[in-house]
Amino acid sequence: MRILVVTNFMPDAAAPQRGRWVRDQVDEVRQRGVDADLFVFPRGRGEYLPAARRLRALLRRERFDLVHAHYGLAGWVARLAGARPLVVTFHGTDVRHHLVGHLSRRLAWRADLVAGVSRALFEEEDGRPGLPPVPGSAVLPCGPDLRRFGPQPRAEARRALGLDPEGRYLFFPANPARPEKRHDRAAELAAACEADLLSGGAIEPERMPLWMNAADAVLVTSDYEGFGMAAIEALACDVPVLSTPVGIAPYALGGIDGCLCSPFDLSIWSPVAKRHLEAPGPRVRGAARAATLSAGAMAERVIEAYRAVLDN
């Protein structure tokens, strides 16, 4: 089987983790014997039509059994280039965005397989519509590469990052500039708990496990998430997670003592966060749950979906 993966969601200096999960999935698919090539094009409004022309030329020169686009606008590039059969995985913002979301929902009816990274993407969330109920739709997360994530002594992680070994730290793993991530909620909680708030955004992927392990708890305060990779990465480190019920969080955190999945309410979140901040070494039993959502496990689901599309 030879496939072509199309995406424009690649990292840069401001967001070194952007799109890492797509590359992780491609690596895992390759390790399972699938011949997978990448077609990557730059971000920006003026890049889509030139990318579609280049992709059309590539598809005329070379034969692929299937094209898999990640994110809605990359899916449109593949569609305009004549890619068939076409699988499109939608990741969240491409569905919920006030402009791009409309285009993504139209594309869903034009793909041979429409996939969301969580069931939440097929439902309305925070007043924003989800993907349409296209027959045969699938849930195909990417999943994190858990070989990079695992429990480390909190003191060692803090020492490596130059943090106070006795500090009270809550970690907001997203870019504070993204309004849907709701940094304001995380800041409000940290102030109420008299804790320092550590924030992500420009952290190198290789150092993210250190930040997870250095924290007393990880906060996912988003209005919406397509999947919610950070929560899974934190669970793999056995670090407590407090999350709004977005993306995969209801499944990932359900039944894990010490984690919270609830709409943001300071009176509910604050006691849970304080308990972890005051514990000598706050940990939860999250690694086993995280393993069910790893990049490897999700790649096997994706390969099954490829075979189903080709069989049809």
Q: If we measure between CA atoms, which residue out of 210, 224, 201 comes closest to residue 101?
A: 224
C-alpha span between 17 and 312 (Å, rounded): 35
Give residue-wise pLDDT tens across range 11-30.
Answer: 666 666 677 889 889 999 99
Indicate whether 148 belongs to any domain. Answer: no
Hey, what are 28's tokens? 């895992």
The CA-based angle 150-5-304, given to 5 degrees, is 70
Are 210 and 245 found together in one domain? Answer: yes
End-to-end CA, the chain: 15
**CA distances, 10 to each of 17, 19, 142 (Å):** 8, 5, 15
- Structure-token pair, residue 44: 């920006």
How many angstroms separate the CA atoms of 52 and 58, rounded? 10
pLDDT for the residue numbered 44: 86
- In the block, tokens 């060692």 appear at 156
The verdict on 305 and 283 lying in the same domain is no
The whole-model pTM stands at: 0.82
Same domain? For 183 and 283 the reply is: yes
Q: What is the domain count for the chain?
A: 2
Residue 159: which CATH number?
3.40.50.2000
Give residue-wise pLDDT tens across range 217-267. Answer: 999 999 988 888 899 999 999 999 999 999 889 999 999 999 999 999 999
Triad 222, 263, 198: Cα angle to 5°: 45
Higher pLDDT, 129 or 59: 59
Domain co-membership, 173 together with 57:
no
CA distance 160 to 155: 9
Beta bridge partners of 217: 170
Same domain? For 137 and 229 the reply is no
Residue 250 sits in which domain range? 154-291
